[in-house]
Each structure stands twice: as C-alpha cells, then as structure tokens.
Structure 1
Amino acid sequence: MGEQISETMDDTGVRPVTYRLYIRVPCRVAIDPGRLGRHVLVRGWYVYTGSARRNMAARLRHHLAGNDTRRWHIDWLLGAGLGQVMHIRLDTESECTVNGRIEGRVVIPRFGATDCRRRCGSHLLWLGTRRPRAVPRDPGRRRTHSAVAAVERSGRPA
C-alpha cells in the first residue's frame, strides 16, 4: 500500500503522483463535461482522483483556481463554480489503485477516466451528504493551497 504523503515527500524521496480532491457540491447542479453529455449531480460530497507525474503543483493550482479553461472533465464542475474543493490528499500510488479503494458511487461513467486502462468506471465518485472521514472535521486542518505548497517543497518541478 502506498504511503500517504502528509506535507512533503517522505524520507525515501518518494513524491506524490496522485491527488484526491474532496469536493462539496452545495445543491443539485447540471454539468456537461464534453463528450460525456449532460449529467445532474445531487448535493453532497464527491471525490475526484487524478494524477500528474509532472507539474503537479500547477495542476492543483489550476483546479483550485476554478477558472474557465476546460482541459479536464473536472473543470466542468470546478470551473463553473458548482463545486468547491474542501480538502486535498496526496498519494504515491497510481490513480487507479487509489480510486479503487474509495467506497463511492459512480455518477458519471468514464468521468476523468476515458484513458483508464483498469476500467475504473469513473474517477469522480459520490460519497454521500455527510462529510467524509478523510476530510478533517476542523476546517483549519483541511488542506487545499497547503497541498500545493507541499508538492512544491517536495522538489518536484512545477
């Protein structure tokens, strides 16, 4: 099992390659992520699993900015301001391995997984309406921009 990266790379020099965005969607929303078609998401908590072998900090900054540039499926949710990233977890294992351990419901087939070789079904999962245990109860302990800083400190080129 991969080691959870808390703030920076570990003593062995292993750097994160996978990230999980814990997203809160406050109300029912409709999104149209490209070729996947129009879908309605109910309010609640979602987790999106992605990876970046290079430029992870830039990728995370892009997701947190919620800008209008639509490059990845998740941009249709975050860029439109329909969901808010509440916490980020970093991992050293592949995105499919990490995604496969998450207990959640596929809401948009192939979302973030059109190139997935393991047939994950989706890299966006609905977790329910209650705050997931992976998200710290205390908002001061949740990581968003600090996760970007952790990746930058790990020595990974940004």
Structure 2
Amino acid sequence: MQAATVYQLDIVLTADARIIVGRLGEFLFPAGRYVYTGSACRNLAARIDRHLSRDKKLRWHIDYLLEVESAEVVGVRLFEDGECVVNQTTEGIVVAPGFGASDCSSGCGSHLKYCGRSECLAVSANVHL
C-alpha cells in the first residue's frame, strides 16, 4: 500500500471575509464550506499540524485564509492519488483563481474550492480516513 502524500482540509468560514492573499491579491471569501487540496512528499503530519496551528508565519496561500478568526479546519482527509487528480475530482467552485496552485501544471485553476453550505467531497477512491 502506497503512503498518502495528498491531503484535503475541510474548512468552515462562519463569516464573509475579504482577504489579501499574498501576491495573488485581494478576494472576497463568502461564508460557507471550503476544501483545500495540498501535498507533502515528506513530513505530511508536520505539514497538516502547521496548517492547524494559529501561530505561524504566513508562507502559503492557505495560511492567509486560516489566519482569519472566522475560519476553522473541521476535518482532514488523506489520499494516495495525485494532488491535481484529487482536486479535479472534488466538487465546488473557484472563488480565488490561482489559490494554492502556483506550481500546478494540470490546469486546476485553484486548489481551493467553495461549496456553499454543503461539505466539499472528492470522488477519489484512494482515501485514508
């Protein structure tokens, strides 16, 4: 069995938030459910723990969203499939083009999806719970 290297953060934003996301610029994030798809070839647990921490330097696009007081990670899923495969099989819409996808060569457009009031679900069969 292959080790998981891809993760999704299930995020709830309880209030609309206008956020400047590093060099990407400013976006309005409507209240609701989001899913962020990321990967880590090494130290996956450490990467996820970092995302869950409130005390960190803003380094990745997701850090800007998660620093907002009304944002909370309510779940984490792990996958064996590739990051873009998981992202592309996850329902939702893009509200911040380029978010988390600066190194994406698969045309995802964003690795953050907005699902309104519903949980964002991936169709990938290779999930670790």
TM-score (normalised: structure 1): 0.73
The structure-2 alpha-carbon separation of the partners of 1:98 and 1:133, relative to structure 1 and needing over 3 Å to count, comes to: closer
Using a 3 Å threshold, how does the CA distance of structure 1 residues 57 and 108 change in structure 2: closer, same or farther? same
Pairs within 5 Å for 1:46-125: 46-125=34-113
Equivalent residue for 2:5, pick from 17, 23, 43: 17
Closer/same/farther in 2, CA of residues 120 and 36 from structure 1, 3 Å limit: same
Cα distance in 2, alignment partners of residues 45 and 112 from structure 1 = 17
Deviation at 1:133? 6.9
Q: Which runs of 4+ in 1 moved over 6 A?
A: none
- RMSD value, Cα: 1.6
How many angstroms apart in 1 are the aligned matches of 2:56 and 2:120?
30
Q: How far, CA to CA, are the matches of 1:115 and 1:90 in structure 2?
A: 20
Q: Would the aligned equivalents of 1:69 and 1:79 in 2 still touch at CA under 8 Å? A: no
Q: How many residues align?
A: 123
Identity %: 43
| TM-aligned CA deviation for residue 81 of structure 1 | 3.0
More strand by share: 2
Residues of 1 paired with 2:75 and 2:90: CA distance?
A: 15
In structure 1, stretches of 5+ residues that fail to align are 1-11, 135-146, 151-158
1:15-55, Cα deviation, whole Å (9 max, x unpaired): 11100000000010111111110111000000000000101
TM-score, structure 2 length as denominator? 0.89
- In the alignment, which residue of structure 1 is the partner of 2:21? 33
Distance 2:120 2:51 in 1: 22
User: What amino acid maps onto 2:98 in structure 1?
Assistant: R
- 1:128 Cα shift? 1.2
SS for the counterpart of 1:106 is coil
